[in-house]
Amino acid sequence: MRRRAIAFALLSAALFGASTPLAKLLLGSTSPLLLAGLLYLGAGLGLLAWLRGRLKPISRGDVPWLGAAVVAGGIAGPALLMLGLARTDGATASLLLNLEAVFTAVIAWIAFRENVDRRVFAGMAAIVAGGALLSFEGKPHLDFSVMLIAAACLAWALDNNLTRRVSGADAATLACIKGLVAGSANLVFALAQGASLPSLGAIAAAGVVGLFGYGVSLALFIVALRDLGTARTAAYFSVAPFFGAALAIFLWPEIPDWSFWAAALLMALGVWLHISERHGHAHVHDPMTHEHEHVHDEHHRHEHAFAWDGAEPHVHPHQHGALSHSHSHHPDLHHRHRH
């Protein structure tokens, strides 16, 4: 499950990173805020069509967390970013966007007490440094817009940590809801500012890019959150600029300079430090009842109230009794304990 979660986090980063140069092709005369709305709506409507009535209910206790995550990451984040982008240069914006992973990790470590050691910290630092090096295009221009873009990164970091609280729910349903709400809000804001809709072809293209770059990417990110915790998932996801830069080189052929390869090495080092991490100690599991995809490992030794065909992994509501043991683990759904 851990290896799959790492693969999902990296695939999520690849899809989101690839969406950046593709979205750039769509920008043209389209308002950035309007394009953000179309991308999010493409994600929400695409997932809604794929689910076709198979939306899973969200528990009442998860609604406030999900609502706050949508407001922070789907509405406030894009609006703050667009305001900042209108007043600063691309080099500064690209550098500042690396703050999202830093803010996400700091909130996870301080507010939610996810465990961190020197290896994990060094891996995060290497990945962020690689992203900064990849994004640097000259001397950054610093002004008030920096605060707006940094605030957008903080909003997305809050979104990541709030989504962690509901990551046990169906990932596609969560991504669908976030896409529909965020897309509708951004579209209304853009139209209220006087933006006009592009051609039907551009709208369809934005929808496809949004479905994969935002919708599928977000669903994979949520599954990774479930098994890796917030800070580690954010670290893997922050390699997205590398995938975006690689696709941009393919779309606009040019020989990458030394900074591209140096950034790739730093990011590879950071990912290796995280993949090779081993964290284990004696810990206690409190009794709980929830529903998520699982296999019958030592944490899931329960009876079934239905005829089970032996297939794994599978999903159903199940109970956990109190358990005390010691093994290597990550801050997943069952290991969000204090140290």
pLDDT at position 85, please? 65
pLDDT of 197 > 80? The answer is yes
Angle between helices 32-51 and 2-27 (to 10 degrees): 130
Residue 28, both tokens: 């043209």
| Statement to judge: residues 162 and 198 lie in one domain | yes
Distance in angstroms (rounded) separating the CA atoms of residues 259 and 250: 17
Tell me: the pLDDT tens digits for 110-164? 887 777 777 778 877 887 787 677 666 555 555 677 788 788 889 989 998 998 8
Residue 288: pLDDT band by 50, 70, 90 thresholds?
A: low
Which helix H or strand E contains 49, and what residues bound it?
helix 32-51
Indicate whether 337 belongs to any domain: no
| Statement to judge: residues 245 and 299 lie in one domain | no
Angle between helices 144-164 and 217-228 (to 10 degrees): 60
Indicate whether 226 belongs to any domain: yes
Indicate whether 55 belongs to any domain: yes
pLDDT at position 88, please? 59
| Statement to judge: residues 106 and 41 lie in one domain | yes
Instruction: Determine the structural domain holding residue 301 and report its residue range.
Output: 287-321
| Statement to judge: residues 183 and 206 lie in one domain | yes
Indicate whether 335 belongs to any domain: no
Kindly give, in sequence order, each residue whose CB lies less than 8 Å from that of residue 118, ignoring residues fewer than 6 positions away: none
The residue with tokens 């709305």 is 37
Indicate whether 327 belongs to any domain: no
Q: How many domains does the chain fold into?
A: 2
| Statement to judge: residues 253 and 309 lie in one domain | no
Model pTM score: 0.75
* Dihedral class, residue 302 (left if φ above 0, else alpha if ψ from -120 to 50, else beta): beta
How far is the CA of 167 from the CAs of 48, 159, 172, 221, 286, in angstroms? Answer: 19, 12, 11, 9, 19
pLDDT of 335 > 70? The answer is no
Indicate whether 138 belongs to any domain: yes
| Statement to judge: residues 295 and 226 lie in one domain | no
User: What length does the chain have?
Assistant: 339
Closest CA to 98 of 141, 127, 120: 127
**Mean pLDDT of the region 181-207:** 90
Tell me: the pLDDT tens digits for 156-179? 899 989 988 887 788 899 999 999
**Mean pLDDT of the region 36-52:** 92
Closest CA to 326 of 278, 281, 277, 286: 281
Tell me: the pLDDT tens digits for 232-241? 888 788 777 6
